[in-house]
Amino acid sequence: GDVIQALQQKTNHVPYRNSKLTFLLRDSLGGQSKVMMVVNASPHIENISETLSSLSFASRVRSVELGQPHPLIRSNIK
């Protein structure tokens, strides 16, 4: 949640290294990229805690709007 919150607030420092996943995805989480989040929810009662945690995180991520994407302008390189 730290990275998503930092991106939303447009802070100078985005803590990508707080998580292995966000560190690996750092190039895909900012700039002009689009991100889709998929949440895996388990129907088993023994996984209820993890499922609720995942759904809570997904709800927080869903409320984030990072802005409109900008078109990528490519130059003709010969």
What the block records as the tokens of 28 is: 């895909």
By the 8 A CB rule, do 7 and 64 touch?
yes
Distance CA 19, CA 21 (A): 5
DSSP states along 11-76? -S---GGGSHHHHHTHHHHSTT-----------SGGGHHHHHHHHHHHHHHHT-------PPP---
Q: What is the pLDDT of residues 11-50, one digit of tens each?
A: 888 898 888 888 888 887 776 677 788 888 999 999 999 9
Give the global pTM.
Answer: 0.58
